[in-house]
A and B are shown apart, each in its own frame.
Chain A
């Protein structure tokens, strides 16, 4: 993965395939501890203890293939910076993936384009809800598709004009790109 926004897209796509109705993504820059913290929380079907125990094994997957690289890639990227990843999950309880990266570490990947990640999720699966929040000091940006859908009334959120308007807003408001 070239950047952190692609890791987040990958984790969120896992949430969608776990039948999550809502995916909540939070990115926080912690100046005091020099950390970047990302959190992806879903209300999908969750994992049992046996699955959770093997979550970072690249040769374990619940899909019909031989490898499951997404989570192991995230562990590798975070740990290279002295950070860590925790995965909390239970059947019927959803899943929470938390990753920390040392902001100033030379191996920290760039954050990349969170705007493109959020747009890809909305356009690809408009029936789900997404909450995106980024925090950096006193600055807080929050997007909640439930509020946008409420304002749109019966216009689908994946209508090209709506996506273009959301893209414009995200490009203006999202500050995490480095």
Chain B
């Protein structure tokens, strides 16, 4: 079994507990990358990777990331949904790494949706 080193774990645990004190509880933003067969074939894993990179760079602790299945718009994949607490979700389509980085900066961090990449604002069923 490959293990993280004790030094890695100790450092991570100390930093985590230090930052915990600053958290107000709960997540401010939820990012969902659509990871159905269509999304995966269109590049959703790269989008997920980009989100993970941007999240690590941001040093924010109040952003949750997750994956979901096909949203029923296969031709528009890769897609992601951004939900800010208290606001309706925004669904973004035909994503690239560059588009996702811009969305992360302006919407996730800045709170302002990137209208030119958005399909719709509001709830819908995902499968």
Interface size on A (CB < 8 Å)? 43
Interface size on B (CB < 8 Å)? 34
Q: Would you call A136 an interface residue if the criterion is a C-beta within 8 Å of the partner chain's C-beta atoms?
A: no
Q: Would you call B109 an interface residue if the criterion is a C-beta within 8 Å of the partner chain's C-beta atoms?
A: no
Question: Known contacts being A64-B127, A148-B4, is A155 close to B16, with CB within 8 Å?
Answer: yes
A20 → B minimal CB distance (Å): 14
Docked-complex contact B12 and A124, CB < 8 angstroms:
no
Query: Could you tell me the distance between the alpha carbons of A64 and B67 in the complex, rounded to whole angstroms?
Result: 18
Count of A-B residue pairs with CB < 8 Å: 98
Query: Could you tell me the distance between the alpha carbons of A147 and B3 in the complex, rounded to whole angstroms?
Result: 8
B4 interface neighbour in A125, A158, A165, Cβ under 8 Å: A165
In the complex, chain B residues whose CB is within 8 Å of the CB of A16:
67
Docked-complex contact A120 and B48, CB < 8 angstroms:
yes
Interface hits, B46-84 → A, CB 8 Å: 48-49, 52, 55-56, 59, 65-67, 69-70, 72
Residues of A within 8 A of B (CB): 1-2, 6, 9-10, 13, 16-17, 63-65, 68-70, 73, 116-117, 119-120, 123-125, 141-144, 147-148, 151-153, 155, 158-166, 169, 173
